[in-house]
Structure 1
Amino acid sequence: MESETLLARITDYASRADPYPLYAELREAGRAVRQADGSFLVGGYHDVAALLHDPRMSADPRTGGRVTPKPPFLRLDDPEHHRLRTLTMRPFGPPHSPGHVDAMRDEIDRITRELLASFEAGRQIDVVDDFAYPLPVTVICRLLGVPREDEPLFRAWSDVLVESADLKPEDGDSAGKREAGDKARTELGGYLVNLAEQRRGEPGDDLLAAFVNEPDPALRLTQEELAETAILLLIAGHETTVNLITNGVLTFLRGPEHLDLLRREPGLMPRTVEELLRYEPPVHMRERIPLADITVGGTTLARGTPVILALASGNRDPRRFDDPDRFDPNRPDNEHLGFGNGIHLCFGAPLARIEARTALTALLPLLGTASLVQDPPPYRRNAMLRGPRHLPLQL
């Protein structure tokens, strides 16, 4: 049956530019659709949201019997997940805590203006390499407390890690690139631990200082946890924000009426970013593993069986959103799944929203006279973290 190949077809690179017809096929095929590899694919909004909230669904890949090193807390279950997330969430929670993201607004605006300063009329730029990529990496460096002179080193490690995350087994030299990714992770982890140790006993306003000077013994991170959590901040914060900004630029240029509306009503940008998170989300799928048999629409998801939750499909579900394939910055009741849901709701969402609003607002004057060099653009290999790898524009 064709429904049993949906996951393979969705993740096929040939579908990357427009996977949405396949998501519609998924929703029509059933609420939980078994795949040829034995996994289940779930694409309805209400089912995806319910399973993200279900404590019987595990995010830990080791639950399914996989032999893997201890994953970052993004892939852990409570209580381990709660302990690590509680400490890491502090800058994203109440204002005035160390390194709080609200204090970064002016810095994000400065970084944005610095990047745009070199964009001259008549020039061809790559929105990814020249803007959307360096912005969040620089912001994360400042948030962690990385010295400015070390930021190029940090970006080099990030380049290698992102490239290795995009690999598929059939890619050429995948083994070499994975080895390079492992080496970069080790070097970056060692650098961050050493940098954090320099802050021990000297509380500062950056995140690494907050980590090593945590007063609650129950929340303190081991060196391994500190390295993994800081790397997670880099990767998760980078990948989602790059995709969100770049997908936004692409959506605006494909629909000039949206640019006109935003120029007339710049106050609509926060709602526009929420609609982008629904319409072209940076994260398309998440894997979960049932800890017990769970029934969805008459289909049993057996304990230990991989379940792929298609967030992007839920965001286009007509049973939840009116005219879901239309981009509508004025959309009311927009409770999308762009940042996930449940206990694993993206902890960096406040920062990503600030970055996307600032970046897209700053780009508006340029986009009015810009044109796409290639449409569709080349996309990243990774199907779960979907976004253009390059987005060349003629200014």
Structure 2
Amino acid sequence: MTQAILREIMDYANRADPYPLYEKLRETPVAHDGDGPYVISTYYEIQSLLHDPRISSDAANLASTASDPLAGGEEEGTTLPPSFLKLDPPDHDRLRRMTNRPFGPPHSPHKVHDMRDELGGIVSGLIDGIVAADPLDRIDLVDQFAYPFPVTVICRLLGVPPEDEPRFHAWADTIAASLDPDPDADPTKRRVPADARMELGMYLAGLIEERRKNPGDDMLSHLATADGPDGAMTTIEALSTSALLLIAGHETTVNLITNGMLTLLRHPDVLERLRQDPELSVPIVEELLRFEPPVQLLPQRTTLSEIEVAGVTIPKGASLWLVLASGNRDPKKFENPDRFDPDRADIQHLGLGSGIHSCFGAPLARLEAQLALSELARRLENPRLLEDPPPYRQNAVLRGPRHLPIACDGIRD
């Protein structure tokens, strides 16, 4: 039963609306068919496991992916080492601290806040570009806005030369697609993301070497040259960390913005409220992270020892899937969970994870989404969906529309 539901979730036919399948999963908070992963789908159990030191994110601790028929092979053949996202303490903690020094508190507490004006300028420029491109009777908000915005931001944060930014579109899309644990994927197609990782790795290695010789004030220079209490990053650590920031920082924000606009267009009353009150973007983004999270599930976590969850004993070395999007719709935590409600109080969602692996770039992702959605609401006149549901990306893990065709009557200054 569990494997059948998981295969349905992976099935592209259900990409537009997986939530009825998550509802089925929640009937058994810890589901296991005797083969494959243990699937955890309820809020409190997921939240507990995200904070449990007996759960490993290190793929090296997986006893065997062969026993998991739904496991993906995204790390196979990669030329990049695991980022700190896929490491356990103490290595995870050391690298995360080092990465955080130029990015956030306590050493750089105003970094994200001080980017607000620059981010606003990028948003305005992209919307102006929509006017220049025309026609307004068919705008693709993904290609023309949601996709270029985060990649421009993360490239500027790291210090990637503007002329090289377009190259990251192809690399990011190819690598993100490989994160989807598709049971029917053609093994020969794994060469494509491996090639993308190799090209990205070679490019970043050259950029890191250049920054060591001529450091600037960008984040990549800090990663390459800083030598704090935790020592200095090796070239390979700086390489994997910068790749993580480029890919993870881009793909999740694209989905957050696109899922957000799709939801607002389906709720025109909320869209109009946002147009009148841009500050409403703050609670709207929090509710979107619950209602339509950009990361739907975390596959391939591993138990380091035997553990009991909701009365089920999970053995050491077992593979876990934590279905965040299902936990976000758990009625035991959220009243009327299938209703989009930006006035919902105390939204303690799982949309950005929790525990030591909570989203590193959460402050930046929140600000990007708030600025993007509020400005789109203000400037687009009478926006409306042309396809509902729109075409979705193949990826079931990083779920979002591949295109979002809309029309509008004009664009305000």
TM tier relative to shorter chain: over 0.9
Partner residue of 1:295 out of 286, 308, 324: 308
Identify the residue that residue 122 of structure 2 maps to in structure 1: 111
Identity across aligned pairs (percent)?
53
Structure 1 pair 5–263 and aligned structure 2 pair: CA distance change class (3 A): same
Which residue of the other structure, out of 137, 140, 147, is the alignment partner of 1:133?
A: 147
Query: CA contact under 8 A between 1:45 and 1:320: conserved in structure 2?
Result: yes
Contact 1:280 1:312 survives alignment (8 Å): yes
**Per-residue deviation at 1:367?**
4.6
Preserved CA contact (<8 Å) 1:285 1:384: yes
Please, what TM-score do these two structures have when normalized by structure 2? 0.89
Partner of 1:195: 207
Partner Cα separation in structure 2 for residue 66 and residue 34 of structure 1: 16
Deviation at 1:15, TM superposition (A): 1.4
User: In the alignment, which residue of structure 2 is the partner of 1:161?
Assistant: 175
2:276 to 258, 264, 269: 264
Matches within 5 A, 1:229-378: 229-287=241-299, 288-378=301-391
Give the drift of 1:220. 1.8
- What SS class does the counterpart of residue 298 from structure 2 fall into? strand
Q: Is 1:226 matched up with 2:238?
A: yes
Residues 295/238 of structure 1: CA separation in 2 closer, same or farther (3 Å cut): same
SS of match in other structure, 1:54: coil
Aligned partner of 2:11 in structure 1 is 12
2:32 aligned partner, one-letter code = R
State the partner residue of 1:56.
54
Does the aligned pair in 1 maintain the 2:383–2:407 contact within 8 Å? yes
What is the aligned partner in structure 1 of residue 88 from structure 2?
Answer: 77
Aligned to 2:220: 208
Query: Which residue is 1:88 aligned to?
Result: 99
Q: Which amino acid aligns with 1:108?
A: L
Write the distance in 2 (CA, Å) between the matches of 1:321 and 1:24: 13
Q: Report the residue type matching 1:65 in the other structure.
A: A
C-alpha distance in 2, partners of 1:273/1:333? 13
The alpha-carbon deviation at position 165 of structure 1 amounts to 4.0
Q: Which deviations, in whole Å up to 9, do the C-alpha atoms of 1:305-358 show, x marking residues without a partner?
A: 111111111111111111111111111111100000010000010110111011
Is 1:380 equivalent to 2:378 in the alignment? no
TM-score, with normalisation over the residues of structure 1? 0.93
Superposed CA offset, 1:96-136 (max 9, x none): 73993223211111111111112236341111111101101
Q: 1:99 to 1:138 in 2, by over 3 A?
A: farther
Partner SS, residue 262 of structure 1: helix
Quote the Cα distance in structure 2 between the aligned partners of 1:248 and 1:86: 31
SS of equivalent to 1:199 = helix
Q: How much is the aligned-residue C-alpha RMSD, in angstroms?
A: 2.2
- Number of the residue aligned with 2:69: none
Q: Residues 252, 98 of structure 1: CA spacing in aligned structure 2 closer, same or farther, 3 A cutoff? A: closer
Task: Give secondary structure in 1 for the equivalent of 2:313.
Answer: strand
The answer to which of 97-106 and 326-335 deviates more is 97-106
Q: Gapped runs of 5+ residues in structure 1?
A: none
1:74-100 C-alpha deviation (Å, 9 max, x unpaired): 111101111111111224422773993
| One-letter amino acid of the structure 2 residue matched with residue 324 of structure 1 | P
203 and 98 in structure 1: CA distance in 2 versus 1, 3 angstrom threshold: farther
Counterpart code for 2:399: R
Judged with a 3 Å threshold, the aligned counterparts in structure 2 of structure 1 residues 159 and 49 are, in CA distance, closer, same or farther, namely closer
Local SS of the residue matching 1:100: coil
Measured at CA, do residues 383 and 160 of structure 1 come closer, stay the same or move farther in structure 2, by a change above 3 Å?
Answer: closer
Q: 8 Å contact 1:40–1:307 — kept in the other structure?
A: yes
Measure, in 1, the Cα distance between the counterparts of 2:33 and 2:267.
Answer: 36
Match of 1:184 among 196, 207, 214: 196
Which moved further from structure 2: 211-220 or 329-338? Answer: 211-220
Following superposition, the deviation at residue 219 of structure 1 comes to: 3.6
Structure 2 residue runs of 5 or longer lacking an equivalent are 66-74, 409-413
Q: Which moved more, 1:9-18 or 1:134-143?
A: 9-18
Decide whether the 8 Å contact of 2:146 with 2:258 is kept in 1.
Answer: yes
Structure-2 change in CA distance of 1:207 and 1:12 (3 Å):
same
Indicate the residue corresponding to 2:45 in structure 1. Answer: 47
The one-letter code sitting in structure 2 at the alignment partner of 1:7 is L
Q: Which whole-Å CA distance do the structure 1 matches of 2:383 and 2:175 have between them?
A: 31
